[in-house]
Amino acid sequence: MRRTPALLAVLLLTAGCVGAYDIPLPGGADVGSKPYRVTAQFRDVLDLVPQAAVKVNDVAVGRVESIDLAENEWTADVRLVLNGDVRLPANAVAQLRQTSLLGEKYVELAHPKEAPTGTLADGAVVPVERSGRNPEVEEVFGALAMVLNGGGVAQLRDITRELNAALGGNEKEVRSLLSTVESFVRGLDQNRGKITAALEGVRKLSATLDARREPIGVALDKLEPGLKVFAEQRESLTTMVKALDRLSGVAVRTINASKDDMVAGLRALEPTLRKLAESGQKLPQALEVLLTYPFPDSALDAIKGDYLNVFLTLVVPR
């Protein structure tokens, strides 16, 4: 009987050094005669312990064999032993789940959201990019306490009061604004193809300008002296433009004043131009004969030699 207090002290000391979560769970799922092992990497394993269950579609198919710190010392490697009959894709995902609100943790393996590829085999690794966990109860309560104590809940009354003050008596204007916004958004939705095409055109233009950045830079560098000359000659250019403005005004007044005479002259010239058009090829032929008068071209072609002696007697009547 004297040994009872000492035994209780030993048990209490042992319980103080080793927590309940540090004791592996007994038993586990049946993994069959040909199991295979997979390593799942997690950023945080919470209070997951060895011998915890591994489930697929809420069915236990394996157990957690060991939990070790990864080589990078930032993640945890959870070694899983799975039943050999379980088939999963090579890009399967791993999640830490909880059986109930205060229940034990387990690892859930599931198919990915994208198309499955390959087969999860012995020695495979589920990287940290395809693993995760659910929020803890303590985290939810902590976030809720932050919201209730110093968050936005205390300000909801002020927000509601200010909204009522801003919208009170302006219901018609607010309704009109909402209708306008709805029409605007509907227009954007109807023209999203054109907007996308315009943005694509801007992207191609930007790519083209970027590819020709050096020639454009050279052109801009050479444009600077020209702009400097324009700046120096600004007064002269301004005077020239003003003079052109006055000249255009004089020209307009002159044309308006002589419009009737110009129209009359064009009408008087119209019969002459019509007769010239009606003569056709006769006028060019007459001009050809004029240079060899009184001999036509056929007579000159019949004469052999390089020159022709002609004696003409001109009789001038008195």
Query: In degrees, to the nearest 5, what angle opens at C-alpha 258 toward C-alphas 256 and 259?
Result: 65
Per-residue pLDDT of the chain (318 residues; tens, 9 = 90+): 444 444 444 444 444 444 554 555 555 677 888 999 999 999 988 888 999 999 999 899 999 999 998 887 788 999 999 998 999 999 999 999 988 877 889 999 999 988 999 999 999 999 999 999 887 777 777 777 776 676 566 677 777 888 888 887 888 888 888 899 999 999 999 999 999 999 999 999 999 999 998 888 888 888 888 888 888 888 888 999 999 988 988 888 888 888 888 888 888 888 888 887 887 777 777 766 665 666 666 666 656 555 656 666 767 666
- Please report the pLDDT score of residue 274 as a whole number: 84
- Please report the pLDDT score of residue 303 as a whole number: 60
**Pairing of β 105-110 and β 93-98:** antiparallel
Q: Give the integer Cα–Cα distance in Å for 97 and 48.
A: 10
- Please report the pLDDT score of residue 301 as a whole number: 62
R_g over Cα of the chain: 51
Q: Give the integer Cα–Cα distance in Å for 121 and 191.
A: 50
- Please report the pLDDT score of residue 5 as a whole number: 47
Cis peptide before 294 (omega within 30 of 0): yes
What is the residue extent of each domain of the chain?
A: 20-134
